[in-house]
Amino acid sequence: MRINRNLNLRICLLLFIVFASCHNRQELTVHQSHAAITGAYPGYNILPAKPDTAGMSSTAVQLAAKMKIGWNLGNTLEATGGETAWGNPEVTNALIMAVKQSGFNAVRIPCAWDQYANQSTGKIKDAWLSRVKQVVQYCIDNNMYVVLNIHWDGGWLENNCIPEKKDAVNAKQKAYWEQIATSMRDFDEHLIFASANEPAVANAAQLDILLSYHQTFIDAVRSTGGKNAYRTLVVQGPSTDFDKTLRMMTKIPEDKVKNRLMLEVHSYTPYQFALMEKDEKWGNQFYYWGRSYHSSFDTAHNATWGEESEINRISKAMKARFVDKGIPVIIGEFGVIRRSSLTGNTLSRHLNARAYYLKYFVKQTISNGLIPFYWDEGGLGNNSFGIFNRYTNTVFDKQALDSLMHGTN
């Protein structure tokens, strides 16, 4: 959302610390930006707390090792118009218990904040902060790790990694994270904050702007003190795209607390299998993924790219580029839609191929030190990802669930 306000922005020096090159590989540098974001909204870090180490001993690497496989509470707290606006019921502890009992030990909570905020002051409604905190509490009461973000949220951040929006977005990012972090400050290391969702970045200049948004996020959270002084934080690669991140993300934001940052990417590879909902003139959907699952009677819908070797490639590359350098990587979203409108052998082969993909993806990414979070939007019909019936808090898609869990073994 465009903010028509004059921002007084004091820009400090951008300093890049270049790590020594090893084996001719490009190393990460630290992106430093200490811009004072003032003038647009009141400061919401009113009562910073004394740093509190209780329950916050794990580094990002140690915390990542405790997270087995995650699940997304999709199309719910980020829904435009309210928690139930996109067809899901209000979240209950019973749902989170069902997710935990099914084998997940982490929950990603996509969350909107802008629609609950006063656009003149940046103040988030107390009732919404309390509701989100309640859902976080459900997860932590079930001994689950939680990744809480600012999701698409109307696109005010992720559609605006551009110079003309930089000051306004940084001002809003600061105001929102000061409030979110203060509200959630007393949760221990089971709660992790994530700066954004899928910030659209096309070039190095836009990446630098995104890094300023991440820097504002980190500085705002740390400034609130308490357990937030040591909380593990997640920043997103450009467009949360594997290859863009591998190619472009040579800088990371600066954090005064060492070893408490993670990186996030998403994967819906190959698109024709994971997301495509109808055949197009330029190409067909992939119903069947994996050479052993190709169809001899419906060859037009066999995958032609993005199969096992591609999952292997991107997983190993992320490991070498980030995980091996002490920066854990979460795959914040992945999954394949269920094309349940198919019939007969076509449906059976498709669902078997989908199950194989889910198992393979989880196994391969975990073996390379990545943490996968399955995207579940709550849907139960055709072209949906849903595993759980959220109205009955029961497993709807046992085949997919079993495949995901088998991948963790």
Which helix (DSSP H) or strand (DSSP E) does residue 265 occupy? strand 261-267
| Rounded Cα distance, 378 and 287, in Å | 21
Catalytic entry in 189, 264, 307, 333: 333
Query: DSSP assignment, residue 362?
Result: H
Kindly report each contact of residues 274-280 with a partner whose C-beta sits within 8 Å and lies 24 or more positions away, as own/partner: 274/334, 274/335, 274/336, 274/337, 275/337, 277/337, 277/383
| Rounded Cα distance, 137 and 232, in Å | 18
Active-site annotation holds for 333: yes
Distances (CA, A) of 222 to 59, 211, 217: 15, 16, 9
| Rounded Cα distance, 276 and 299, in Å | 17
Active-site annotation holds for 308: no
To the nearest 10°, report the CA torsion of 74, 77, 80, 86: 50
| Rounded Cα distance, 394 and 58, in Å | 33
Which helix (DSSP H) or strand (DSSP E) does residue 365 occupy? helix 344-367
Catalytic entry in 198, 254, 307, 377: 198
CB 148 within 8 A of CB 158: no
CB 243 within 8 A of CB 270: no
Token digits for 343? Answer: 């019939």
Hey, which residues are catalytic here? 198, 333
